[in-house]
Amino acid sequence: MTNILILGAGAMGTAFCFPPADAGHTVRLVGTHLDAEWIESVRKTGIHPKLKVKLPNGVSAFSHDQFGEALGLGNELIVLGVNSAGVPWAVEQLGPLLKGTTPILMLTKGLHAQRDAIQILPDAVRSGLAKYGIEKLAVGAIAGPCIAAELAAGRDTTVVVAYADARLPEWIAHLLTTSHYHVRPSMDLVGVEVCAALKNFYALAVGCPSGLLAQQDPAANRAQMHNPAAALFTQALLEMARFVSFLGGDQKSVMGLAGAGDLYVTCQAGRNSRTGYFLGSGLRYSEVRATHMANETVEGAELALVIGPVLERLFSLGRLDPKAFPLAKAITDAICRDLSLRIPWTALHQV
C-alpha cells in the first residue's frame, strides 16, 4: 500500500482519487483555499458537489490549512491538481514544508512563459522549488483523454505518465493501473506536456465551426460543420508537432494519448470547446467571459494569454516561422487582442 497526497480538490484532482484508492492505496485529498466548500461536503457526505459521486474508501479530505498535517503523515507520491494559475501558489505551499525527494506528478496542464522562451510546467515547478533549496526533485506529468466525470464513474480511461527519470514512469504506471484506468509509461516529458497544454488551446479553434453553424439558417439537407472542424483538428495536430519539435520533445507523442487522443476528447465537451463555440458565434473573448464563462477557468484561453506575447517575439526574432503557425496566430489574436476569431483557411495545410 502506498500513501498518495493530492493537492487540489477540483473536479480532476478529486476524480484522480479513484484509481489509487481502487488499487488499494491511501489517498489524502487536500483542497486549496478555493475548495473549502467541496472539502466540507466530502467530509460530511463523502460526495463531491461538482462530480456528484461518492468518493471511495481510503480517501481522507483535508482543508488547505491542514496541508502541513497531511504532508507530515508521509507520502510516497505528491500529485498537483491545481489549475495552471495556481501552480505558483502550490510551489509556495510545498517549498517550506517538503522534505526528502518525494516525486511530484502533475495533473495541471499549461506552459510557463519567459521573455523569449516557453517552459513546460514540471520545469517551472522544479525551478520554483529550487529557490527553497529543494534540488534534484523528480517532477513528471500524466496526460491523455480523461474527462473527470467519466473517470469518477469508472469508465475505461487510458493515459500516459511521463518523467525524465527512467525509473519512475513504470513504477507509477504499475501503482495507478486498475481494471478501468490504464496507464502507459513514457520518457518524453516535454512532448507529453506540450501536447497536454496545447490541446486546450487548439480546442478553442476546433469548437468554432459549431458556433458558426448555430448562427446560420439550417441547410436544406441538414448539413453540419464536421468538414471545417476536421480540417482545424488536423491543422492543430500539425502545429502541435511543430511546437513539440521546437521545444525538444518527440513528435510521436502528438499522435498518441497526450496529443491526438486528448485533443479529440477535449473537442467533444468542456470549457475550451464551449468557449470556441461562442467565439465562432461571433462574440469576442471579452464578451464570452462576461456573458457565458464568467466563473469558469478556460485553460486554453489562459494559455493563449501566457504564450501569445512570447510567440510574437519568437516570430519577430525569426526563431519560429509564423507561416507554420497560422491557427495559433488566429487564436492568440482573438484572445490576447480581443479580436473576432477569423480562421485563415488559405494559410492552413500549406507548410
Give the three cell numbers for residue 117.
522562451
Report, as an integer, the average pLDDT of 204-216: 94
Active site residue 199: yes
Q: Which of these, 109, 183, 181, 150, lies nearest to 268 by C-alpha position?
A: 150
**Catalytic residue selected from 131, 199, 252, 329:** 199
| Residue located via cell numbers 476569431 | 341
Q: Do 181 and 195 sit in the same domain of this protein?
A: no
- If one counts the domains in the chain, the total is 2
Determine the structural domain holding residue 269 and report its residue range: 191-347
Give per-residue pLDDT as tens, 81-124.
998 889 999 999 999 999 878 999 999 999 999 888 999 999 99
Q: Do 212 and 110 sit in the same domain of this protein?
A: no
Q: Do 94 and 165 sit in the same domain of this protein?
A: yes
Q: Do 298 and 340 sit in the same domain of this protein?
A: yes
d(CA 168, CA 104): 10
CA angle at 311 for the pair 347 and 341, rounded to the nearest 5°: 50
Q: Do 183 and 259 sit in the same domain of this protein?
A: no
Which one of 155, 187, 219 terminates a domain? 187
Give per-residue pLDDT as tens, 221-272.
999 999 999 999 999 999 999 999 999 999 999 999 999 999 999 999 889 9
d(CA 318, CA 336): 21
Q: Do 226 and 278 sit in the same domain of this protein?
A: yes
Q: Do 173 and 284 sit in the same domain of this protein?
A: no
CATH number for the domain that contains residue 211: 1.10.1040.10
Is the pTM higher than 0.95? The answer reads: no
CATH number for the domain that contains residue 71: 3.40.50.720
Which one of 154, 187, 220 terminates a domain? 187
Q: Do 204 and 320 sit in the same domain of this protein?
A: yes
Average pLDDT, the chain: 95
Which one of 147, 163, 187 terminates a domain? 187
**Strand pairing of 26-30 and 59-62?**
parallel
Give per-residue pLDDT as tens, 296-337.
889 999 999 999 999 999 999 999 999 999 999 999 999 999
Which pLDDT score is estimated for 99? 83
Is the pLDDT reported for residue 156 higher than 90? yes
Q: Do 183 and 146 sit in the same domain of this protein?
A: yes
Burial 243-264 (b: 16+ CB within 10 A, else e): bbebbebbbebbebbbbbbbbe
**DSSP-derived 3-state class of residue 28:** strand
